Structure 1
């Protein structure tokens, strides 16, 4: 695998956790430099639907911490 000149180590030499962190860091650096991509109409409608449902029954959802625990990422 060839590397970009800015990378000091072959990506394949990194652990899976390190590669995931690298991908997250790269994505965060992109978001820091520009606005988020626009949502589609369907995405906006879905978010509106979910917000309305949450406002009707706020106890039905899960917190981000609960979701992370279920995914084993806490």
Structure 2
């Protein structure tokens, strides 16, 4: 850390940018995993009949009505 702090400002800025990019990659993986888990849970709820489903056209009509 001492070596990084001793770098010139431009080099520290570039290093900081690269470190943040590496964190964003990790966050994206975590978010992807969470969304996948959620999607599988919803799929299982639909398959088991725990949640009601509606035809696609009806769903789109509802969305259009809300947006009007």
Report the TM-score when normalising by structure 1. Answer: 0.40
Structure richer in helix, relative to its length = 2
